[in-house]
Chains A and B, each alone.
Chain A
Amino acid sequence: MSLLELDGVKVHFPVKKGILFDRTVGHVYAVDGISLSVEAGQTYGLVGESGCGKTTLGRAVLRLVDVTDGRVVLDGTDVAQLPEKEMRSFRRRLQMVFQDPLGSLNPRQNIESILSEGMAAHGIGGNREERREKIKEILAKVGLPGNALSRYPHEFSGGQRQRIGIARALVLEPDLIICDEPVSALDVSIQAQVVNLLEELQKSMGLTYLVIAHDLAVVRHISDVIGVMYLGSLVEEAPSDALYEEPRHPYTRALMSAVPVPDPEVEDRRERILLLGDLPSPANPPAGCRFHTRCPWKQDTRCATERPELRDLGGGHRVACHFAAEIASGEITRTSGEVVPAAHEGSGGSGGSEASGAPRASGASGGGAAKGSSSGERASEAPAGT
């Protein structure tokens, strides 16, 4: 059995309006029906752009936000249903590493106080001395000097603060650590240190991670399984290598093609799929497939009306697209969008003419598509002009 299982998890935030008495006028569908499972000792990576609900999902697992519907099962216990009191002691088993290393540490507590507070709350370590020994041991593991105990968060560098954040999670010996953008606030050279640390700790202590990040390259590096989120739902899930080798969902393809690679040779040859327009509001998500307003492969049938379920394509590769197979085999070609081929070579090449020859998305399919088509059309004229 998996360590963590999410079954149809929904988190809807009410939108309230009113002068004296608030009334609910709608909902933000931050997380809208997510099912996934995380195996013990593995790393599950959740990627998506801002506003896709990945952070909310992480907080729902920790029950820092209320789950509207669905089950969050950790090791047989439904976290979403636990009474408040039991939940508090259960929290020891679920820990979190935050994005902002400084903001997540109380500036007025020293490191010993920060690290021992959780232990005290859960009765780990009999007395102060025992706790201090344990803290020193953990500090050594995350690569901080023992004299850090009496210091305050502002006396450390960004990378060291993140190590403190990791140590705070580790002292409670949790079953699952949720890392919410663990490295995105750090400099590149420090990112690598923290990524390596997380991997070493996993190896030596058998940790299980749920890593939430927007950086596909980082997520691919540390995850065993990756789930791609778009507008509150999972659009694709696959083992890390399979996802990279063969992304099946149009959104995953576009996302992957948009990540710049620090290598000019690759950059010049790389084909980029430019998505049209912006992310629709999660308060008013499009009907049918959530992605159909921006999808370059959108079809007239099903996409706008029927919401696709995650289907298993074999080998643990799950995709929520009606036409995944047809797109992969080339039966369906792109109907909109733009592909930027080799950037510095052959401008106005095949990619450009292909895009300008593409029919416009119909204006009837919602604001997003209408927006997109005009910018797509305009942009596609550009290569021809040079």
Chain B
Amino acid sequence: MPLLDVDELTVTFGGRGRRADRGRDRDRKPTEAAGPTEAAGPAEDTSVRAAGPAGPAEDTSVRAAGPAGPAGGNAVRAVNGVSFSVDEGQVVGLVGESGCGKSVTSLALMGLLPRKGATLGGRADFEGADLLAMGPRRIRDLRGSKLAMIFQDPLSSLNPVVPIGVQVTEILKRHRGMKGEAARKEAAQLLDRVGIPDPDRRLREYPHQLSGGMRQRALIAMAVACAPRLLIADEPTTALDVTIQAQILELLKELVDQEGTALLMITHDLGVVAGLCDQVNVLYAGKVVESSGRRELFAHPTHPYTHGLLGSIPRLDAPRGEPLNPIRGSINDQIAWADGCAFAPRCDRYEMGCLTGTPELTEPREAGHQARCVNPVLATTEVPA
């Protein structure tokens, strides 16, 4: 069984569903009972419909908030049925551009979404227990011990008025029951472990006295303080320079190799993913559009979006002088998943079939390589003009 199994996660902001309802009916298991004929209907959202009549009170709010029903007012479905799994010691990438729902997914898993205004759906099993249904106390105990997170901006993730040492030992005290000198020694060891020179001095310093790279190292030290089973890294290197990024990526790799920690890497940078992740999930408009092992994905991008992304990136090792092949339009040009493929308005390969209901994840190329596309790119070399 995988360490983390996320199944049809949905997150809706605004609308009538007022609360991030964590303790919802456990029977709500999305089954694809709706069947293909029904799913093809234009005004349906399978993930919501599949919920069935089991959870009466919450479901109406969720349904009203879905993009298919504009009656829900200005509700935004940021994550729209995302499924993926992370095995022990595996590095899994969640890749996508801004607005694809990758950060919201990580916050939902950590139980860090605002309780008011966000409605969750689906389930996320971590070691057999559903993270989404957990009470705030239980998830707080889990956070920092078995589940840890690193954020994009190391400066705003650290408390500016508390020395680094106190912030690190706090975690050791809370989750490992360590005290006084022992906690301080362990903290110094942790800083040393993540490559912060002179850890005893650094423990007394405040976050602003550290450079960006050192701060990110300190955050990583705090995240790995309790040897978590799963580390969620949300754009951990985006705010850093490339040379520092290389250092941090190397550190993360090392931690995964040595500690057997699983890593969920959330990033927009396909280059980072290529060097780090075992399994890659590409997100677009709140859904996984392609999922595969890293080598297979980069060698044979099958979804036109992935294909387009790879064509958009200027590569340091590519011959110069050729124009890039951008995806046209912007993220604003999309249609509701219920009506068809959200990417269709930007896609050169869309067909009538793309505009009738949500495309399913299929395996058009080979086993284990999933793509949510009616007309996938199967020839590998040509790049759409």
A residues near B, CB below 8 A? 49-50, 157-160, 187-193, 195-196, 199, 214, 216-218, 220-221, 240-241, 244, 254-268, 270, 272, 274-275, 277-279, 340, 343, 347, 370-372, 374-375, 378-379, 382, 385-386
Q: At the interface, yes or no: B38 with Cβ under 8 Å from chain A?
A: no
Contact check, B313 vs A382: say whether CB atoms are below 8 A apart.
no
Q: At the interface, yes or no: B323 with Cβ under 8 Å from chain A?
A: yes
Contact check, A382 vs B326: say whether CB atoms are below 8 A apart.
no
Q: How far is the CB of A286 from chain B (nearest CB, A)?
A: 15
**Lowest 8 CB-CB distances: which A-B pairs, in order?**
A260-B271, A192-B326, A192-B312, A221-B314, A267-B275, A49-B241, A258-B246, A262-B270
Q: At the interface, yes or no: B129 with Cβ under 8 Å from chain A?
A: no
Contact check, B323 vs A199: say whether CB atoms are below 8 A apart.
yes
- How many angstroms from the CA of A260 to the CA of B252 in the assembled complex? 15
Q: At the interface, yes or no: B254 with Cβ under 8 Å from chain A?
A: yes
Contact check, A214 vs B312: say whether CB atoms are below 8 A apart.
no
Contact check, A262 vs B242: say whether CB atoms are below 8 A apart.
no
A-B contact pairs, 15 of them (CB 8 A): A157-B330, A189-B97, A189-B312, A191-B326, A256-B316, A258-B246, A261-B317, A263-B317, A264-B298, A264-B299, A274-B246, A277-B197, A340-B250, A343-B275, A375-B196
Which of these, B192, B241, B316, B327, contacts A220 with CB under 8 Å?
A: B316
For the complex with contacts A195-B314, A260-B274, 6 further pairs of A-B residues with Cβ separation under 8 Å are A188-B97, A189-B309, A196-B323, A260-B249, A262-B313, A265-B295
B residues near A, CB below 8 A? 97-98, 192, 195-198, 211-214, 241-247, 249-251, 253-254, 257-258, 268-275, 294-295, 298-299, 308-317, 320, 323-328, 330-332
Q: Which of B196, B246, B320, B331 has the most CB of A within 10 A?
A: B246
Query: Which residue of A has the minimal Cβ distance to B254?
Result: A382
Contact check, B198 vs A244: say whether CB atoms are below 8 A apart.
no
Contact check, A262 vs B271: say whether CB atoms are below 8 A apart.
yes
Inside 8 A of A187's CB, which chain B residues have their CB?
A: 97-98, 268, 330-331
Q: How far is the CB of A369 from chain B (nearest CB, A)?
A: 11
Contact check, B257 vs A274: say whether CB atoms are below 8 A apart.
no
Contact check, B198 vs A374: say whether CB atoms are below 8 A apart.
yes
Inside 8 A of A257's CB, which chain B residues have their CB?
A: 246
Contact check, B332 vs A157: say whether CB atoms are below 8 A apart.
yes
Which of these, A159, A192, A275, A375, contacts B243 with CB under 8 Å?
A: A275
Which of these, B245, B309, B311, contacts A258 with CB under 8 Å?
A: B245
- How many angstroms from the CA of A270 to the CA of B211 in the assembled complex? 27
Contact check, A188 vs B271: say whether CB atoms are below 8 A apart.
no
